[in-house]
Structure 1
Amino acid sequence: MGSQQTDGGVDRDKKVRAIVLHPELKKFSSSSRTPEARLEEAYGLALAIDLEIVLHEVVKVSRPKPSTLFGSGIIDKFHEYIHDNEIEVVIVDTALTPVQQRNLENGWEAKVIDRTGLILEIFGERARTKEGKLQVDLAQLSYQRSRLVRSWTHLERQRGGAGFMGGPGERQIEIDRRLIDERIVRLKSDLELVKKTRELHRSARRKVPFPIVSLVGYTNAGKSTLFNRLTHSDVFAEDLLFATLDPTMRRVTLPSGREIILSDTVGFISELPTDLIASFRATLEEVREANVLVHVRDVSHEDTDAQKEDVKSVLKDLELDQDIQDSMIEVWNKSDLLSDETKTSLEIQSSNNQTTLLCSAITGEGCDDFLDMVEQLLDAQNLVYEFEVPYSDGAALSWLHDHGNVIEQKHHEDGVWISISISQADADKFTSKFDILPDID
């Protein structure tokens, strides 16, 4: 009867049953988040791969054991629970060593996934483009390479799924380190081609230059929802961690008529695996090319300040120019979820800062003000140019008025001398379009 359960049969549509454990390592943690908040984030990550979470719990660990992380009492306690409740997967919300992961799997007789493995599993399910899949494959293989052991017999229970949820028969179990290394070399070569293609695209954009405005932020901060509202697009945006993996770019017209390219990027997260940062560097180079960075924050989240620090940490890893970081806008998103008192307080705070803005991507509140703020920042980056425009080229004069701020204009016998504040990109575009070079004293 298809997916119906029968005596001795299995419901093929039944979700994988899992538990989520967050080890509370007080002496070893520098995080400003509470263990409960960390657990909730791990719970959200687990839900993102459609597991049935039977239990999620904070586990205090006073003395981490090198071989298992947890003490024997904790292992025995959860072994009984795992057995009684038919748990197939245990998610441990920290980075486990290969030895710890293997020993916990032996002790619990269940698949064990650490925080890195869980994030990689999500990325594996969410990647849609060829580039995204290449980046995820590279990160997964780099992770798997460190976990190759002589025997995988402790995993020899057939399970469905992909990535780290698979059984023996899956790629990572069968191949050895040499084959993984060969695959890594091929993936890096493929990604280098992607990088070159991206550079060609960037070069093309420079020839018809538009300022680039990149949205960055903690995962699930609402970047894609804001992107959709501003660009009238339908990029996948759900209340899920890592809803967006592949970068998306759209043209947006500012109130003055100036056009920009708005870029939506992958969300960041605390303790983002280093393999992922390395693999997604080609994608994140779009952030490095930005004229304006927009940090979208979920100010309704209890850990919004800690999330801000995590985003700043990733941006630091990208070695961004200080000028870009100094011109970053903070969009305080999800104002529709705030209490009246909190909203009023944040409105006062944001009004006293020229680069912060309270908004709601859902209701549209503050979005027009956001576009105005972007325009002001781009104007601040402008340079002053002087051009001599012949009277016969009225289209060129009109173009300058549309794309810059006229400082002074004088009429001569042969044409118009104009002093204008305009971006480097627009000045280059004007010169290319109308073959009129700026005056140089």
Structure 2
Amino acid sequence: MTDATPDIFDRPADAGRAGRLQAGLKKRYAREKRFKAYGIMAVAVAIGFLTLLLFRIIEQGHTAFYAHEVTLPVYMDPARIDQAYPEGTNFELLVAEQELARLGVQDDAAGTQARAMRSLFSSELKYRAADMVRDNPEIIGKTVTIVAPASDEADLYYKGEISIETPADQRRLSDAQIGWLDRIKAEGAVRTHFNGALFTNGDSTEPELAGVLGAVIGSALMLMVTAVIAIPVGIGAAVYLEEFSPKNRITDLIEVNINNLAAVPSIVYGLLGVALFINWMHLPRSSPLVGGLVLALMALPTIIIATRSSLKSVPPSIREAALAMGASRTQTVFQHVLPLAMPGVMTGAIISMAHALGETAPLLLIGMVSFVPGIPHSVVEPTGALPSLVYIWENASERAFHERTAAAIIVLLTFMIVMNAAAILLRRRFERRW
């Protein structure tokens, strides 16, 4: 009797089975490679679109972060300056006429050239000149230097957004005005500087003077109202529903409605805000108070869902151990379960606030689309918000507002990125692995 054992794959049936097994393995590995390739392609497409979006916004908006000022020598003519009320003096016309004379340009009887020259400088010129006269009346009768912002069209020309080659019917600057701007710049009277007014001014009808400060403060006040209302109420509701409420049809119905409210379009919340807070409660329209209340209603479902998910992630052994040591149900929840779930709770709250910051439709319905030039000082004053400011500027007729629209989007995206990054960092810092 021999000890030799025949190889099982020597038989034809076994060899065929081994071949099918190898072919199946190759197909499975090929499917895995295709799946990975599809995933990489999806991520690459998403990154590509995001990069394209950011590049387009930055390309259009980076010019709004710098501006041009013109240094002008001005003779303070005593015959034309009202020392008692400097604001009543037409400094713009005074400067325009003197600048025309300095450039050797002859004006007509109707003052056409003077009006054209005056449009190259911002209206800020008259306020700066009036402040100089008010602070130092002794300059009347002397030649002083005034630094004034270039007008929106002149600023765009110096930024290269407008060219002499552009057809005349497609630009608001005439050939003569472009020639004057070139001569002024050749004399070294034009200076490029960081546009701090974009961050220190409120909204304005003149693009070169418009800023985002009023909208930023309005958004901050609105988010403060939203956070004060939505976060405590949302966390409290989630704790009750998850830890204390009886499991019956009523609680099931509440849970279904909360999930449905998270998917309701934001414009519906705007309609609710108009009907409830403005028409019925008579709260001030266009105020951060009403905006915060509307956004709080929007943020509540998200906070409740995120908080309940975080509470569910805490192991049951934590609750059982606390109860076994004699802790009450309330002590167990608020001294053990909720602190361990707090990273997820904080993440959900911050993300809901970031989502509320970018909402536009509810703000348009409650009147935050109106022009508000001042800086708000309380939650009941009319104000704008960053999303509504973007909407207003994009629909403005002046071309210079379009670059400021992109700049406002950059500011808004910066706030949202910071808030989302804070949520990620907090979660990673305090998250526990079970």
TM range (shorter): under 0.3
**Higher RCO (CA 8 Å, separation ≥ 6 residues):** 2
Higher helix share: 2
TM-score between both structures, scaled by the size of structure 1 = 0.18
Higher radius of gyration, 1 or 2:
2
Higher strand share: 1
